[in-house]
Amino acid sequence: MKPLIATSLVSPQRAGPGLAMPSLSLVACALMVLVAAGTALVNSYYLLLMTFAAIYMVAAMGLNLLTGYAGIVSIAHGALVCVGTYATAIASVRYGWGFWPSAVLSASVGLGFSVVLGLPALRLSSWYFVLITIAFTLAVTAMLNDLRGFTGGYGGIVGIPKPSLAGVRFDGFGLFALVGGVAALLWWVMHNLIDSRIGWALQSIREGDVRARANGVSTARLRLFAFAFSGAVAGLAGAFYASAKGVVTPEDFSFDFSIFFLFVVVLGGPARLSGPMLGVAAFYVLPELLDSLKEYRMIAYGVGLLAFSVFLPEGLAGAIARFDDRRQARRATSPAATLPRDAGAATVEPVRGMALAIRGLAKDFGGVRALDGVSLDVQPGSIHAIVGPNGSGKTTLLNMISGFYPASAGSILLDGAEVVGRGPTSIARLGVQRTFQTPKLLGELSLLENVRFGAYARERSSGLEIAFRLPRARHEAAALDAEALRLLALVGLAGRAHEHAALLPHGQQRLVEIARALIGRPKLLLLDEPAAGLSMGELDELGDLMRTIRRMGTTLIMVEHHIELVASIANTVTVLDQGRILAEGTPEQVFSSAAVVHAYTGGAR
Ligand code: ADP
Ligand code: MG
C-alpha cells in the first residue's frame, strides 16, 4: 500500500484573483464614510442625519443576515428596533439605568422576541412567518398606545440620556462616531461570519436546505442563530435610536418604519456586506436631502421596487459586484493553477470504511413502488456499483441510505446500527457523505469555499470564535483552506479554486462535490452518476480518483451508467430493475448475464 499522507503543503490564496484590486463596493462605502463624517461636521442637521443613517445601517445589517443571507423574509425588523428603543427608554428614564445596561437589555429583548417569533418558522412555511411578523408589527404599534402606563402613550418618553463611558459623554459628533464605530465593528463581525461555515450554511438554507443537511448542518439551530443575531442587532440599534432622539413617541414607529428595513436590504443588495450601507444612502439619506422627495417616500419605494426588479434584481451592491466581476475576469488565474493532482492525492487521512447492510427495503411514492424489497450487503472499503435503467430506483436508494427519504419498510444498518428513522443531518454525522445527480453547490461561492463547507461537521471553532477571528478559528480556517485546495487538486480543479461554482459545467460541479464530500472524511461515500457530462480524459481521471478513495479506506457506492468505468473499478455490481434486484456479482458475472442485457436493451434507457 502506498503512503497515504501527502506531504506537499500549499498555502492557498484566499483572496481570489479579484481581491488584489479593492472591490468597487468597498471603495464606494469608504467614500460614503468620508462624506458622512465630513457633512456631519458641517451643521447639526447633517450630523443628526448621519447619526440616524449609521443607526439604520446597524439595524439593516442584522436584517441582512436573516433575510439576505438566510433568505427568511421578516416584516418585523422595525418593530424589533421599536421594542429595543422602548426598552432603553423605559429602563433609563423610569428606572434610572445607565445607557450601557439599558442597551444590553434592549439587545436581549430584541433577541428574545425575535427567537420567539422565529420558533414557529422552524416548522411552518416561510409564508406563515411573514404573516406572523406582520401581526407582531401591528401588535407592537397598538401596544405603544394601549400600555400607556408603561410607554407613556402618545406623549412618549422624554429625557433619554446619552451614552457615556469613563466620564466621556457621547453627544453630537461623539455619538455619531460611537454609532459609526459600532457599525464598523458589526461589519467586521458580519464579514467574519459570512466567510465561514456559518455563513455558508445560512446561504445553503436559503437555497433549500438539502445541501446543508447533507453536510451535517442542524438547520433548526442555524435558523435560530439567524433570528437571535438579527433580533439582538435590531434591539441594539433601538437603544442608540432612543438615545439619539432623546424623546420617543409612537409616531416614530409607523408601519412603514418596519418595511423600511426590508427595502433597504432588498434594494441595497441582499447577501452583500455593503448592501445595507448602499441601501441606507439611497433610500434614507438621499430622500432626506432632497426634501421634496420625503413626502413621496412610499411612492418612491414602490417605483424603486419596480425599477429595481427589472433593472437591478440583485440590488445596488449586487449590480456593482457584477460590474466588478466583469472588470476582474480579465485578470490572470490564481497561483493555485500550478498545483498538480499528486499534491492532492490521498490528502485525506485514512479512514475505516463503513459496512452497509440493507434488508427488505421498500419505498412507495403514492402509488409508485420505487423500491421493492431490496437487500444488499456492501463490504467495508470496497467499490460497489449500482446500475440499472432510468427510473429503476437507484437515486431513491441513495436518498434512503443518506436519510433524505424515510423508508416504507425494511432496515438499513450502517456498521451494524439501524439508521431507518434518522434524518440526513444525523446520518451525515455518522460519516456518510454524498453527491447529487444534479449538483447542489452554492453557485455564488468559490469552488474552494464550497469544498470548505464540506468540513462543516468537523470544524470545532464556535460561532463566537469565528465572529471575532480568535486564534483557533483563524488556524482552523487556514488548515482547512489548505486541505480544500489539495482536494481540488485531486479532482483536477485547483486552478479554478477561486471561481464561482455556478460558472462550471455540471460534470465538473460533480467533481467539486466529490472534493466537498472528501473533506468531510467519509467512511461511506455515495456518488450519483459521477461520470455524467465528463470527457473521455476526465473519465480516466475519475477512475483514478475512485481508486485513490478506495485506498484511503472509504467504502464507495456509486450509481453509474458508464459500463466501462464500472467494469474497470467496481468490486461488486448490483443491478436494479423496477425497484428490485435483478442481478448481483462481480462486473464480469453481471455484465455477461442474459437477464441484465435484456433489462438494458429492452428496458427504458
Ligand atoms: P433512477 O435514479 O434509477 O433513474 P429514481 O430513484 O430517481 O430512479 O426513481 C425511481 C422511481 O421513483 C421513478 O418512477 C420515479 O418517478 C419515482 N420517484 C423518485 N423520486 C420521487 C419523488 N420524490 N416523488 C415521487 N416519485 C419519485
Ligand atoms: Mg437517478
- How many angstroms does the Cα of residue 459 sit away from the middle of ligand 2? 31
Please report the pLDDT score of residue 19 as a whole number: 43
Ligand nearest to the CA of 362: 1
Domain with CATH 3.40.50.300 in the chain: 348-446+506-601
Average pLDDT over residues 556-582: 94
Helix, strand, coil shares, percent, the chain, to 5: 60, 10, 30
Q: Is the pLDDT of residue 162 over 90?
A: yes
Q: Is 443 exposed, middle or buried (0-12, 13-18, 19+ CB in 10 A)?
A: middle
Q: Is the pLDDT of residue 527 over 70?
A: yes
Q: Do the Cβ atoms of 71 and 85 come closer than 8 Å?
A: no
In a mutational test of the pocket of ligand 1, which residue from 210, 361, 368 has the highest number of ligand atoms less than 8 Å from its CB? 368
Nearest atom of ligand 1 to the alpha carbon of 392: 3
Ligand nearest to the CA of 370: 1
- How many angstroms does the Cα of residue 467 sit away from the middle of ligand 1? 42
Please report the pLDDT score of residue 345 as a whole number: 61
**Strand, coil or helix: 376:** strand
Mean pLDDT of the chain: 88
Please report the pLDDT score of residue 2 as a whole number: 37
Kind plus residue range of the DSSP H or E element containing 252 = none
308-325 core/surface letters (b: 16 or more CB in 10 A; e: else): beeebebbbbbbbbeebe
Spatial distance between the Cα atoms of 255 and 137, rounded to a whole number of angstroms? 7
Query: Please, what CATH class does the domain formed by 348-446+506-601 belong to?
Result: alpha beta
pLDDT band at residue 291, thresholds of 50, 70 and 90? Answer: confident
Please report the pLDDT score of residue 10 as a whole number: 38
Query: What single-letter amino acid sits at 328?
Result: Q
The phi, psi pair for 73, rounded to 5°, reads -80, 125
Q: Specify the residue with its C-alpha closest to ligand 1, atom 27.
A: 365
- How many angstroms does the Cα of residue 395 sit away from the middle of ligand 2? 4
**pLDDT for 256-267, tens place per residue?**
888 899 989 998
Q: Specify the residue with its C-alpha closest to ligand 1, atom 21.
A: 365
DSSP-H helix ranges across 64-172: 77-89, 99-118, 126-146, 148-151
- How many angstroms does the Cα of residue 415 sit away from the middle of ligand 2? 25
Spatial distance between the Cα atoms of 511 and 489, rounded to a whole number of angstroms? 11
Q: Do the Cβ atoms of 226 and 58 come closer than 8 Å?
A: no
Q: Do the Cβ atoms of 438 and 529 come closer than 8 Å?
A: no
Q: Specify the residue with its C-alpha closest to ligand 1, atom 22.
A: 365
Highest mean pLDDT among 345-354, 396-405, 530-539: 396-405
Q: Is the pLDDT of residue 427 over 90?
A: yes
Q: Is 282 exposed, middle or buried (0-12, 13-18, 19+ CB in 10 A)?
A: middle
Please report the pLDDT score of residue 79 as a whole number: 96
- How many angstroms does the Cα of residue 574 sit away from the middle of ligand 1? 18
Please report the pLDDT score of residue 601 as a whole number: 66
Q: Is the pLDDT of residue 449 over 80?
A: yes
Ligand nearest to the CA of 438: 2
Spatial distance between the Cα atoms of 167 and 93, rounded to a whole number of angstroms? 20
**pLDDT for 97-110, tens place per residue?**
999 999 999 999 99
Q: Which residue has the higher pLDDT, 334 or 557?
A: 557
Query: What single-letter amino acid sits at 144?
Result: L
- How many angstroms does the Cα of residue 389 sit away from the middle of ligand 1? 12
SS (H, E, C) 53-81: HHHHHHHHHHHHHHHHHCCCCCCCHHHHH
Q: Specify the residue with its C-alpha closest to ligand 1, atom 16.
A: 391
Please report the pLDDT score of residue 9 as a whole number: 35
Q: Specify the residue with its C-alpha closest to ligand 1, atom 1.
A: 391
Angle at CA of residue 280, ends 274 and 281, nearest 5°: 90
Q: Specify the residue with its C-alpha closest to ligand 1, atom 23.
A: 365
Spatial distance between the Cα atoms of 469 and 4, rounded to a whole number of angstroms? 32
**pLDDT for 166-176, tens place per residue?**
888 898 899 99
Q: Is 155 exposed, middle or buried (0-12, 13-18, 19+ CB in 10 A)?
A: exposed
Please report the pLDDT score of residue 5 as a whole number: 36
Q: Is the pLDDT of residue 348 over 70?
A: no
- How many angstroms does the Cα of residue 528 sit away from the middle of ligand 2? 7
Q: Which residue has the higher pLDDT, 302 or 387?
A: 387
- How many angstroms does the Cα of residue 210 sit away from the middle of ligand 1? 17
Please report the pLDDT score of residue 533 as a whole number: 87
Residues having CB within 6 Å of any atom of ligand 1? 365, 368, 370, 388, 390-396
Percentage of the chain modeled with pLDDT above 70: 91
Q: Specify the residue with its C-alpha closest to ligand 1, atom 5.
A: 393
Average pLDDT over residues 508-520: 95
Q: Do the Cβ atoms of 126 and 73 come closer than 8 Å?
A: yes
In a mutational test of the pocket of ligand 1, which residue from 396, 438, 576 has the highest number of ligand atoms less than 8 Å from its CB? 396
Measured between alpha carbons, how far apart are the two ends of the chain, in Å?
A: 39
What radius of gyration do the chain's Cα atoms show? Answer: 28
SS (H, E, C) 221-250: HHHHHHHHHHHHHHHHHHHHHHHHHCEECH
Nearest atom of ligand 1 to the alpha carbon of 397: 6
In a mutational test of the pocket of ligand 1, which residue from 386, 390, 395, 581 has the highest number of ligand atoms less than 8 Å from its CB? 395
**pLDDT for 29-57, tens place per residue?**
888 888 888 888 888 889 999 999 999 99
> Regarding beta strands 555-559 and 383-387, do their DSSP bridges make them parallel or antiparallel, or are they unpaired?
parallel
Which of 39-48, 90-99, 129-138, 499-508 bottoms out in mean pLDDT, i.e. has the lowest?
Answer: 39-48
Please report the pLDDT score of residue 523 as a whole number: 96
- How many angstroms does the Cα of residue 241 sit away from the middle of ligand 2? 55
Q: Is 138 exposed, middle or buried (0-12, 13-18, 19+ CB in 10 A)?
A: middle
Please report the pLDDT score of residue 165 as a whole number: 87
Spatial distance between the Cα atoms of 294 and 262, rounded to a whole number of angstroms? 18
Please report the pLDDT score of residue 126 as a whole number: 75
Q: Is the pLDDT of residue 603 over 50?
A: no
